[in-house]
Amino acid sequence: MSPSTAGIATETAIRPFRVDVPEEQLVELRRRIDATRWPDRETVTDQSQGVQLARLLGLARYWSLGYDWRKVEAKLNALPQFVTEIDRLQLHFIHVRSRQPNALPVVITHGWPGSVLELIKTIGPLTDPGAFGGRAEDAFDVVMPSLPGYGFSAHPSESGWGPERIGSAWDVLMKRLGYTRYVAQGGDYGAVVTHAMGRQAPAGLLGIHVNLPAAVPLEVLPAVGGGPAPTGLSEKERAALDQVITAAMRDTAYSLMMGTKPQTIGYSLNDSPVGLAAWMLGHPGFNRWAYGSDPGQPTTDEVLDDITLYWLTSSPTSAARSYWENHGRSPLVAAAQMTVDISIPTAVSAFPGELYVAPESWARRAYPKLIYFHEAERGGHFAALEEPEIFSQELRAAFTSLR
């Protein structure tokens, strides 16, 4: 092999990956948490000004004194993780093959402020459905990449890593893994990337499933901007519109900031762990999280695993930049996601605790080839983390006709 071909071999090589954070980084994190300079308490008795001081103080204390990063590190390292270079960027991914011979390959994309950690509880149910109440023929091979600038993927040093480029890279990744027929799934920013893949419709992509559908029709947007609502909305549509209005007014500050000035907000998030935690917990997906005292998921450790992953990989700014690369296109609006251009089969699960519960009527209008629509009984924005079995059941049902 000549030196030049050796170079090519390296570029397409898939190398095993393990997480091993240097101990001094963990010491430094604890030092910064302990040295936090706190603001005054909020002037209200609820979360309307942002994460409440007492809650964040409690979380920070545990983060410094009781929380153990090494546990989740071991959890990750127990999974087959890899890196490979695509389009000059080193990308990290988890790849678990099912024991079933005809398992359907699926690439699942996380969002912000999530990571591959929000997805790993679905690996068992998806790759080994027989052990989780499903049928062996529902099995998937799962590929879970870290978005560029997130987690253990490299941080882009030049602009251009928008959803389209990421979508193209995912197709390269799946083909490089030897999958010529596969499906794609995503929520949050993962849905944005999955929509891009649906529009690109690369050879072999059989269909997509999203759990944050871009179903909001154009004619209700004036109402979101403060104008009148169109007449003739059904009860479900009216309820969904009210949720979108609430989200636009209350919950979009973070996306506007990251979408316009990711570097500006990044300086404080990369320098202050508590600032990072408050910022990530400000995401509406965490709105109802009771800081570990809720009966279900996620646990305090799971939330801190995710925040600590962002901290240790120094990726708050590079992750925020993915919003800038998305040019302010709303993930909820059909026209912004150009769903009309998605000609391949599309499946939608609407989770009741999501930012908005998309009505089927809107989803049918948004997606030219809607093959599956179902309202799940439980779960929110981080459905794979909160309800991994329901989430997995949704994927099985959504993709069964494409096998």
Partner 1 sequence: MSATTAVEVAIRRFRFEAPEADLVDLRRRLQATRWPDKETVKDESQGAQLAKLQALVGYWGTDYDWRKVEARLNALPQFTTNIDGLDIHFIHVKSRHKGALPLLITHGWPGSVIELLKIIEPLTDPTAHGGSAGDAFDVVIPSLPGYGFSARPQAPGWNPDRIARGWNELMHRLGYEQYVAQGGDWGAVITEVMGRQAPAGLRGIHVNLAAAVPPDVEAALAGTGPVPAMSEQERAVFDALRAYRMSGYAGYFVALTARPQAVGYGLTDSPVGLAAFFLWHPGFANWSYGDDPADPKTKDEVLDDITLYWVTNTATSSGRLYWEHGGASPTSAAAIKTAEISLPVGVTVFPDDVYRPPESWARRAYRNLTYFHEVDRGGHFAAWEQPQLFSEEIRAAFHSLR
Report, as residue numbers or ranges, the catalytic residues: 188, 323, 381
Residue 51 in the binding site for partner 1 (CB under 8 A) = yes
Residue 34 in the binding site for partner 1 (CB under 8 A) = no
Select the span of 111-119, 183-191, 250-258, 330-338 touching partner 1 (CB under 8 A): 250-258
Near partner 1 by CB under 8 A: residue from 270, 300, 337, 346:
270
Handedness of CA 145, 151, 153, 159 (dihedral sign): positive
Which residues contact residue 307 at a Cβ distance below 8 angstroms, ignoring those fewer than 6 apart?
Answer: 113, 273, 276, 277, 280
Characterise 43 by phi-psi region: left (phi > 0), alpha (psi -120 to 50), beta (else). Answer: alpha
User: Residue 29 in contact with residue 308, Cβ under 8 Å?
Assistant: yes
* DSSP 8-state code for residue 29: H
Per-residue x/- marks for partner 1, 190-229, CB under 8 A? -------------------------------xx--xxx--
Residue 291 in the binding site for partner 1 (CB under 8 A) = no
Backbone angles phi and psi of 223, in degrees to 5: -65, -35
Residue 267 in the binding site for partner 1 (CB under 8 A) = yes
Backbone angles phi and psi of 98, in degrees to 5: -75, 155
Q: Which two tokens stand for residue 311?
A: 């901290």
Near partner 1 by CB under 8 A: residue from 184, 278, 303, 370:
278
Residue 253 in the binding site for partner 1 (CB under 8 A) = yes
Q: Which is nearer to partner 1, 36 or 64 (CB)?
A: 36
Least separation in angstroms between CB 227 and partner 1 = 4
Least separation in angstroms between CB 223 and partner 1 = 9
Least separation in angstroms between CB 230 and partner 1 = 13
Least separation in angstroms between CB 316 and partner 1 = 7
Near partner 1 by CB under 8 A: residue from 7, 12, 13, 38:
38
Q: Which is nearer to partner 1, 3 or 226 (CB)?
A: 226
Reported residue count of the chain is 403
Select the span of 83-91, 171-179, 258-266, 339-347 touching partner 1 (CB under 8 A): 258-266
Handedness of CA 183, 168, 150, 20 (dihedral sign): positive
* DSSP 8-state code for residue 219: G
Q: Which is nearer to partner 1, 125 or 262 (CB)?
A: 262
Rounded alpha-carbon distances, angstroms, from residue 85 to 59, 92, 116, 148, 257: 37, 9, 18, 11, 30
Residue 18 in the binding site for partner 1 (CB under 8 A) = no
Q: Which is nearer to partner 1, 132 or 324 (CB)?
A: 324
Residues within the interface to partner 1 (CB under 8 A)? 36-44, 48-53, 56, 155-159, 221-222, 225-227, 249-254, 256-257, 259-272, 274-279, 281-282, 314, 316-318, 321, 324
